[in-house]
Amino acid sequence: MDQIPWWKKTIVYQIYPRSFYDSTGNGIGDLKGIISKLDYIKDLGVETVWFSPFYDSPQKDFGYDIRNYREIALEYGTMEDCERLIMEMHDRGMKIVLDLVLNHTSDQHTWFVQSRSSKDNPKRDWYIWRDGRKPLGKKPPNNWKAIIRGSGWHYDAQTDQWYWTQFLPFQPDLNYRNPEVQTEMLDIVRFWLEKGVDGFRLDIIDALFEDEKFRDNPCSFRLLPSEKSPDYLFQSKKYTQHHPDTLKFLKSLRSVIDEYSPTRFMVGEVTGPMFMLRKYCGDETNDGLNLVFLFKSLGISLNTIKIRRLIQLYESFFSYPHIPTWVFSNHDRMRRISRLGGDIKKAKLNMALQLTVRGVPFIYYGEEIGMENHNLEIETSLDPVAHKFYKVPNFILMAIKKYLGESINRDECRTPMQWNSAQNAGFTKAEIDPWLPITPSYSERNVKIQTENADSLLQCYKRFLKLRNTTPALNSGTIVIINSSELPSNVLSYIRSYSHGSEKQIAVIYLNISDDSLEFKNPHKYANFAESTTVHTRNEKIKNVEIFLFPWEGVVYIA
Ligand code: GLC
């Protein structure tokens, strides 16, 4: 029997529920809309769907501010719709992953409303409250900064104390040092596991615990954060991130998850250096998170040396029994194709890398049709992070964009899914204003048009997804990068090998990371052509002795 757990072989598709499909005609996506599109996702070749939060929420951070963990936001549907979604997915052999925001709640959650009402309310200690600095107490308790701009402490006049938030002021942090909080949050996890969800994506999970003594964070040399370090504005996160108690709590969480069968899994949003990310997966026994997002791929340029190094880096920290994740876009970051100059050929090559390299691929809705970031004005943004930067002069925002390669306004990557060329891209009724404007290139970049074109990005995704799903070497094999002098320097090549009992398979991948057509001898003549990013490939017809790659073509051979 195959021992590899399903989640190591799966492909995850992320849906931002507000933007997928509006079934009610109010300009906002909803659960019934998603259910009506499940066949599309299944047909694409995706098994697992991760949903950004659809729990009850005032939607100030579009669901990442939860008001009730056991209810569904009215605008998205009801608990019955959610149960139907779970059932419909399972009926199709699909898996469902919910987004859990354990670190903080909405300030409108009844727990917080009670907590802030008085110092002796039983819920007071569910959040992190401190006196301000003496003598007047009108300064925050210490120097801790929030992840997004400015102090993370907020003064509450009613009780003359300050509460702590890792993210935005309306997202108060829960106090995990209170055992009642831990018990309640684990109960919520059980609640959803009982309903049949197959896994969780854990939001800013590296921020659960802070220093018990509330010591000031030390200085850092960094002005802006990077994939390596979240330090910014010259402050380290020593006492506010990666606390050892967070890692301990995650082990308890893992044991709850492991009580359930069939196997469930967790993927965590963690930022920091690779060794730290790896720690979140637990000790030798792998008793922490099953997966962590690796974000270095988000901004990587298509360059043979850089990609080769990245694969090696991921493999050195997440070698078997661990497994890397490959993420190129999500609801917080710039869409990958916009970093590739909107170029479909490059997007195909990027997809071929993502679906053939060792790791769990995460595809962001619309990535399969080349949906681009929509350049939107910060003044009219709905994203609360963008609000924090309203008053920052434009030249500074441009500099941040340039340095970080990111847009401050997350609306730009959250625009509605593009289903067809009709008004509003078929996301909602033509006469309705969608909650965010449709990205202008929707008339060519939509599901309908690309379904009809055999050489479209969408069809290319489908072919590669199918190949990956049916090829053990690709979904479960080891990886070895080929360093051969016979290969042109712009070709990245690796071998995926699978062996289980008498079953053996290898897949050889060649990616032409250049604008040139290339011709070279095939070092693996014994493998047969299986797939290409272009339907015009010459490799299908010519003998395997020679390989001919069009600019940005990626091909797979199998033996
Ligand atoms: C995570 C989410 C982001 C959210 C934030 C606060 O980074 O991905 O969308 O705003 O946490 O919950």
Peptide bond into 416 cis (omega under 30): no
Roughly how many angstroms between the first and final C-alpha of the chain, as a whole number? Answer: 22
Please enumerate in sequence order all residues whose Cβ is within 8 A of that of 373, keeping only pairs 6 or more positions apart, or say none: 334, 335, 338, 407, 412, 413, 439
Neighbours of 526 (CB within 10 A): 10
Collapsing DSSP states into helix, strand and coil, what is residue 221? coil
Binding site membership of 435 for ligand 1 (Cβ less than 6 Å): no
Q: Using 50, 70 and 90 to split pLDDT, how confident is the model at 227?
A: low
Please enumerate in sequence order all residues whose Cβ is within 8 A of that of 411, keeping only pairs 6 or more positions apart, or say none: 374, 376, 381, 382, 383, 386, 436
Q: Packing angle between helix 179-194 and helix 244-258, nearest 10 degrees?
A: 30
Q: How far is the CA of 455 from the centre of ligand 1 (A)?
A: 36
CA–CA separation, 98 and 90 (whole Å): 14
Q: How far is the CA of 291 from the centre of ligand 1 (A)?
A: 18
pLDDT at 2: 54
52 and 331 in contact (C-beta within 8 Å)? yes
Binding site membership of 61 for ligand 1 (Cβ less than 6 Å): yes
Q: What is the pLDDT of residues 488-500, one digit of tens each?
A: 999 999 999 999 9
Write phi, then psi, for 311 (nearest 5 degrees): -60, -45
Neighbours of 226 (CB within 10 A): 14
Write out the CATH class of domain 476-558: mainly beta
Active site residues: 203, 259
Residue 1 has pLDDT above 50, yes or no: no
Q: How far is the CA of 259 from the centre of ligand 1 (A)?
A: 28
C-alpha 420: how far from chain center: 25
Binding site membership of 204 for ligand 1 (Cβ less than 6 Å): yes
Burial of 459 (0-12, 13-18, 19+ CB in 10 A): middle
Q: What is the pLDDT of residues 277-291, one digit of tens each?
A: 999 999 878 899 999
Q: What is the pLDDT of residues 331-340, one digit of tens each?
A: 999 999 999 9
Binding site membership of 144 for ligand 1 (Cβ less than 6 Å): no
Question: In the chain, where does the domain assigned CATH 2.60.40.1180 lie?
Answer: 476-558
Binding site membership of 65 for ligand 1 (Cβ less than 6 Å): no
Helix or strand holding residue 511 (H, E): strand 503-512
Q: What is the pLDDT of residues 352-375, one digit of tens each?
A: 999 999 999 999 999 999 999 999
Share of the chain above pLDDT 70, in %: 99
Q: What is the pLDDT of residues 427-473, one digit of tens each?
A: 999 999 999 999 999 999 999 999 999 999 999 999 999 999 999 99
Residue 234 has pLDDT above 90, yes or no: no
Binding site membership of 270 for ligand 1 (Cβ less than 6 Å): no
- Strands in 216-305 per DSSP E: 265-268, 291-292
Mean of the per-residue pLDDT values for the chain? Answer: 95
Q: Name the closest-CA residue to atom 5, ligand 1.
A: 64
- Strands in 35-89 per DSSP E: 48-51, 55-56, 68-72
Q: How far is the CA of 331 from the centre of ligand 1 (A)?
A: 9
Q: How far is the CA of 244 from the centre of ligand 1 (A)?
A: 22
Question: In the chain, where does the domain assigned CATH 3.20.20.80 lie?
Answer: 11-105+179-212+238-459
- Give this prediction's pTM: 0.97
The letter for the amino acid at 221 is F
Lowest-pLDDT range of 134-148, 175-189, 307-321, 348-362? 134-148
Q: Using 50, 70 and 90 to split pLDDT, how confident is the model at 273?
A: very high
Q: Name the closest-CA residue to atom 4, ligand 1.
A: 64
192: its two tokens: 């959803």
User: Which CATH superfamily hosts domain 11-105+179-212+238-459?
Assistant: Glycosidases (3.20.20.80)
